[in-house]
Structure formats: C-alpha cells, structure tokens
Amino acid sequence: MKLAFQLAYKNLVGAGLRSWLNVGILAFTFIVIIFFNAYLDGWNLQAQRESIKWEYGHGQLRHQDYDPLDPFSINEAHGKLNTPLSENLTAVLIQQASLYPEGRMVSILMKGIDSDQKILELPTEAFAKSDANIPALIGKRMASSNKLEVGDQLLLRWRDKNGTFDATEITIIEIFETDVTSVDAGQIWIPIERLWNMTGLKGEATYFIASEKYSHSPVDKWYYKSQAELLKQLQEIIEMKSASSSILYFLLLGIALLAIFDTQVLSIFRRQKEIGTYIALGMTRWQVVQLFTVEGSMYSILASIVGTIIGIPIFWYFSTYGIGMPDYVTQQDMGVTIAQRIYPAFTIGLIMGTIALVVLSATIVSFIPSRNIAKMDPVDALKGKVQ
C-alpha cells in the first residue's frame, strides 16, 4: 500500500496542470459544501436560541382550544388551571383588539404577561417603572410598520368576556428588538393584571410558559408542548432548505467526480504499456487496479488539504463577522426567525464528514474505470495494443 501511494503521488505530480485542475474543482466543491451546510446550521442554532429566549421558554402549557394558526378561536381559547399555579410557569393571555395609530385601524393581538417574569427576554420589568395607566411594549417591526415611538399614546379597542366593546388609551413605554417575528409583528404586550381587569377574565390564561425547572404532569383541559415539539416546525423548515441547497453542491461534486472519471479513463488508455510493465515486474492485476484507484483517491486527499488551507481564513472570517441579511428579509413577518447577521457554524463533525464524503466518492469513481485493468492481457498491453 505504501508503494501504491508513492507511485500515485509521483504520477499525479508528473501529470502537471491536469492534476491541479481536478484538485481545484474538488477543493472548490469541498469549500462550497462546508460553507452552505455551516450557514444553515448557524441559522438553525441562532433561530432556536432566539425562539427559546423570546417565545418558547422550556415548553408551553396550552389551553385545549388554543391554536396559534386559527385566529377565530383565539378569543375563546383561555381558562384557569385546576391546580395551584406553579412558580415555574408564566401566564400569557391573548385577546384580539384594534389599535388606532394616527386615525388608522390596525388589527392586533393584545398579550398580557406578568411584569415579574424571568423566563423570556421580553423587557417586562419596564411595566413596574412606568406610571402610565396601561403601559405597552411593542417590537421594532410593529413600531416601524405603524410609525410608533416611545411615549406615543394610542386608542385601543377590545371586547370583554361578555362581548361588550370597550376602549382606552395605552402608552408605548419601550420598543424592543428581536429576531423572533411571532412576538413582535402585529401585537402589543401589557401587564396581565391590567388585561384581566379590562376583559373580566381574572386568573385566566391562553397558555403558560415553562421555566427550566418545570416538571409536567397531566392537567385537565390543558396540553403540554415540549421545547423540542415547539422547535420542530423550525427544524423542518431548515431541513427543507438544506435539501434544496444540497442540489447545488451535489451538482458541483458530480462535475468534479466526472472530471476524475474522465481523467482515469484517459490515463488507463494512454498508460497501457506502463500497466503491462507493472504486471511483468510481478504485480498482480488487482495490485495495479489498487494503484490506479489510490491515484484517483489522491485527488480528493490533495483537494481536502488545499480546500482546508484556502477555507480556514474564509470560514474564520464569516464565523467571526457573520453574514448580513437585508432588511426586507429580517423586517418582514414571514413567520420564520432570521437574524440580521447569521454566523455559520463550522463544526469539526461537518468538516470531517465532508472530507469523508469527498474522499469516498472520488475513490469509488476512480475504481469503476480501473476495474478494466483486471481484464487486460499483459502481453498486448506491453505491445501497446488498444484493449
């Protein structure tokens, strides 16, 4: 095997530009595969972290009638827990309302949350510092779309538990910035005690956010969504995006492997005398097959080395400074968490897995044309006859 590697290396170096073209194509493919996968992994990890910090916590205990995708059931999806409220749960009550910025009517979700909660990153501590009648928090997207600023007073209209309309003024006390659109766009956050008084739904909630210490036991009329279940939809979106992106780098890998295949076919055709000489000197046919297979796989080994040398500074730069996303992507309510800067996650497992994929693929592609060597007649090969 050592002799095979030595001969393969000398043959590759002797081939000159042809070898470096193959190595260059494979190295480019190697870098692209790692970069795209790291980009999606980084997006996935950031989106999960932000969703946990701003919306999901460590799980949610939801009312049996609550469906986040059904706006017609939100007003009726609330109730009281039949068990004493755990300190590891934070109540959230959701009601539909209408906001009137500058005389325009905007349909929103009015969400009440405990001002003392510590589970989410929402700046609810600002409620206690405000002397406004009804203090409200809004996100940057909500503020931007409705041209709202801190200190603005707006008319808010809602229905109480009996269906009676009521209205009052709210005051914007703080505008928070988050990558999670589902806690920002089209909604306001107010103290849950105020919302209970406004709607007459004292002690009721639409769902509860669980802390890390929460231990779930079945509760009548409520169902529990674990953190993994809440993040499942996001992971499915990332996986779908990864599957569609894989078409690009498998196409690039296919082009690189085709170049290696053609190089091996041409090499075997042009080096028949050399093959006959190897056999005449005592090598078996399968040893010669092994030699040409190793020679083909050496392309991928050199490509991995070249790709690593070129890729390390590129990977370091993007993992440190990130990839900026345009405002029209991050500021739109698309239901997907996208950060303003995405930091690719270049893990050892991803890099080693990509190296293994490239080397294994190149070895298989090199072996396919090399099998024909086993069928060659060494005498005709020494004479240079085409076989």
pLDDT band per the 50, 70, 90 thresholds, residue 97: very high
**pLDDT digit string, tens, across residues 25-68:** 888 888 888 888 888 888 888 888 888 999 898 999 999 999 88
Tokens of 282: 């005592």
Phi, psi torsion values for 71, nearest 5 degrees? -65, -20
DSSP-assigned letters across all residues of 252-321: HHHHHHHHHHHHHHHHHHHTHHHHHHHHHTT--HHHHHHHHHHHHHHHHHHHHHHHHHHHHHHHHHHHHH
**pLDDT digit string, tens, across residues 204-227:** 899 999 988 888 888 888 889 988
Which percentage of the chain shows pLDDT scores above 90? 17
For the chain, report the end-to-end CA distance as a whole number of angstroms. 27
Are residues 272 and 280 in contact, defined by beta-carbon separation less than 8 angstroms?
no
CA dihedral angle for residue 233, residue 237, residue 238, residue 242, rounded to 10 degrees = 140
Strands 341-342 and 187-191: unpaired
Q: Which helix H or strand E contains 111, and what residues bound it?
A: strand 106-113
- Sorted by sequence, the CB contacts under 8 Å of residue 10 that are 6+ apart come out as none
Exposed, middle or buried by CB within 10 Å (0-12, 13-18, 19+), for 112? buried
- Sorted by sequence, the CB contacts under 8 Å of residue 76 that are 6+ apart come out as 65
Distance of CA 84 to the CA centre of its chain: 38
User: What 3-state DSSP class applies to 127?
Assistant: helix
pTM of the entire predicted model: 0.75
**pLDDT digit string, tens, across residues 349-383:** 888 888 888 888 888 888 887 776 656 666 555 55
Q: Which helix H or strand E contains 362, and what residues bound it?
A: helix 348-370
Cα(36)–Cα(19) distance, rounded to whole angstroms?
26
Cα(169)–Cα(100) distance, rounded to whole angstroms?
10
Cα(173)–Cα(178) distance, rounded to whole angstroms?
16
Cα(339)–Cα(357) distance, rounded to whole angstroms?
30
**pLDDT digit string, tens, across residues 257-272:** 887 787 777 777 777 7
- Alpha-carbon dihedral sign for residues 309, 24, 274, 4: positive
pLDDT band per the 50, 70, 90 thresholds, residue 14: low
Tokens of 154: 């707006």
